[in-house]
Amino acid sequence: MNELDTPTELDTPTLSELEARATHERPAFGEHAHILCDNLVRIYKTEGVEVVALQGLDLLIEKGELIAIVGASGSGKSTLLNVLSGLDVPTAGVARVAGTDLLAMTARDRLRYRREVVGFIWQQTARNLLPYLTARENAQLPLRLAGKRARTSRADELLELLGVGHCAGRKPNEISGGEQQRVAIAVALANSPQVILADEPTGELDSENSEQVFAALRQANRELGVTCVVVTHDTLVSEQVDRTVGIRDGRTSSETLRRASSDGNIIAEEYAVLDRVGRLQLPRDFTNALDMERRVRLELERDHIGVWPDKARSEDTE
């Protein structure tokens, strides 16, 4: 408020100042983010019935990040991942991955995007690999499909890196579920993608195998610098990543950041997400506890904003 009092600010800007301000590009929302979702909407429409799977989702992920996305069944996690992997097209909003605008892509761009930018892993181990190809052949497949020379050494290196080098000559039904998922990660990495998307990669595995698979993901993230987005229910996974994004009803609702404290413990702090236009999702537990409905009262304090139930008003109406 004090700044407003300064006479310079009250001065009418000169024309040149206005021109400079107009031409000066302000950094756009998440301009430098590796993955950007801004007000992303995905609506499934079948014969007149609409289902809104994503209802204006915002998400920023930096390059080289390993994040987990959690949420209840039907919250839109898988839809988000399908959009990011280029398998699905959002209805509206902005989705940009590694500089590629996912809404403005032609079919050819989309194919190139899948071939060069992203790799992904599904929950079902059987769905990730072709059952009649060996692990090595599976890992070579994306290269072959992209029309590149499929070097055996590249596939073997990847399998070796992920600790499944011994499975290279075996078919999926000859190796364990955990190994299958690690081979699947190798397949996803085969094209040297910038982003890896994993949809519940440990969903079908026991804790020991889950750990190995997650370790493989983290290894890929650290050693190859690949951005990893993991959708998961598995607390083992969500508690080990730097950032966990919660999705509710097609919107990002919360974020949990983890950092190491000075004594070496991991401190997790959960934040609510404030979107670009200032919307905030209050946790349902909170609103239920205070019986908040429809309207709340906000009060701006010096260092925070207070949220009060609209009691007085509801008494008035009664």
Partner 1 sequence: MNPLLLLRVHRGAVAVLALLALSASLLIAALPRGFEASYDDALHGILDVTSANVTDLTISLEPRAAEQHLTSMAGFQKKDREWREALPSSVTSVLQTRRGREGHFAAKTIGTPVAGRVGVDGPPQQYVNVGWVSGTEKRVRYVQGTPPGPPGVVARVPGYPDLQNVKRFDIALVKDAAEKMGIPVGTTLVLGNSRSILGRVTGVFEPVDASDHGFWDHNLDVLKVSIRRTAGSDIEEQRITGLTDVGSLSMLNGQDRDLMYSWVIAIDPSAVDTRNAPSVIQGVTDFQSYLDKGAGRVLATYAEIAQYAPYFLATGLGDLLTDFLRRLATAQALMFLILGGLATVATGVIALAVQLLSERMRPGLALARARGASLGQVVRVGAGTVALAVVPAVLVGYGLSYLLSGPVTPIVHLGPLVIVVITIVFAAARLAFTHRKPLQDRRDDVAIRRSSPRRTALELLIVVLALGGSYLLRTRGLATEVAAQGADPYLMLVPAALTVAVALITLRCYPYPLRLIVWLAARARPAVPFVGLTLAARARSVTALPVLILLPALAVSVYGAVVAGTLDSAQRLTAWQATGADARVDGQAEIPDDVIEKIRQVPGVRSIVPADKGTAQIGYGGRSAIAVAIDLDAYRRIVADLPLDVPPPAPGVAAPAIPALLSPDLAIHDTLDIGWHVRMKLVKRGVITGGLPGLSFAESNLIVLPYDAAKRAGLRTYTNTLLIDGENIDGAKLRAATGNRPDFLVSTFGEALNRVTKSPLTNTINGSFLLVTIALAVYALLTVVIALVVGATDRARALSYLRTLGLSERQAAGLTVLEITPLIVLTACAGLLLGLALPSALGPGLDLSVYTGDQPVRTYDLSLTTPALLAAGLSAMAIAGAYLHAMIGGRRSLGSILRVGE
| Structure-token pair, residue 43 | 């609506």
- Among 39, 75, 85, 232, contact with partner 1 (rule: CB under 8 A): 85
Nearest approach, Cβ of residue 48 and partner 1 (Å): 7
Place of tokens 């401190």: 267
Q: Which of 75, 100, 128, 256 binds partner 1 (CB under 8 A)?
A: 128
Torsion angle of C-alpha atoms 131, 133, 136, 141, degrees rounded to 10: -100
**51 forms part of the interface with partner 1 (CB under 8 A):** yes
Footprint of partner 1 on residues 149-188 (CB under 8 A)? 187
CA separation for the pair 216, 22 (Å, rounded): 48
Binding residue (CB under 8 A) for partner 1 from 39, 82, 180, 181: 82
The alpha carbon dihedral of 218, 239, 176, 203 has a sign of negative
Q: Does 86 engage in binding with partner 1 (CB under 8 A)?
A: yes
Kindly state whether residue 92 participates in binding partner 1, applying the rule CB under 8 A. Answer: no
Burial of 135 (0-12, 13-18, 19+ CB in 10 A): buried
The terminus-to-terminus CA distance of the chain in angstroms comes to 40
Q: How far apart are CA 87 and CA 111, in angstroms?
A: 9
Q: Judged by CB under 8 A, which stretch of 59-67, 81-89, 209-217, 257-265 contacts partner 1? A: 81-89
120 part of the interface to partner 1, by CB under 8 A? yes
Q: Which two tokens stand for residue 36?
A: 């950007």
Q: Which is nearer to partner 1, 87 or 257 (CB)?
A: 87
Q: Are 55 and 92 in contact (CB under 8 A)?
A: no
Q: Interacting stretch for partner 1, rule CB under 8 A, among 105-113, 235-243, 264-272, 286-294?
A: 105-113
Dihedral pair phi/psi, residue 170, rounded to 5°: -100, 155
Q: How far is it, in rounded angstroms, from Cα 268 to Cα 190? A: 34
Work out which of 103, 105, 111, 282 binds partner 1, going by CB under 8 A. Answer: 111
Is 75 near partner 1 (CB under 8 A)?
no
Q: Which residues from 191-210 bind partner 1, rule CB under 8 A?
A: 191
Rounded distance between C-alpha atoms, residue 185 and residue 239, angstroms: 20
Binding to partner 1 (CB under 8 A) within 251-270 occurs at: none
**Contact residue for partner 1 among 32, 127, 222, 259 (CB under 8 A):** 127
Q: Which residues bind partner 1 (CB under 8 A)?
A: 44, 46-49, 51, 82, 85-88, 107, 110-111, 114-115, 120, 124, 126-130, 132-133, 141-142, 144-146, 187, 191
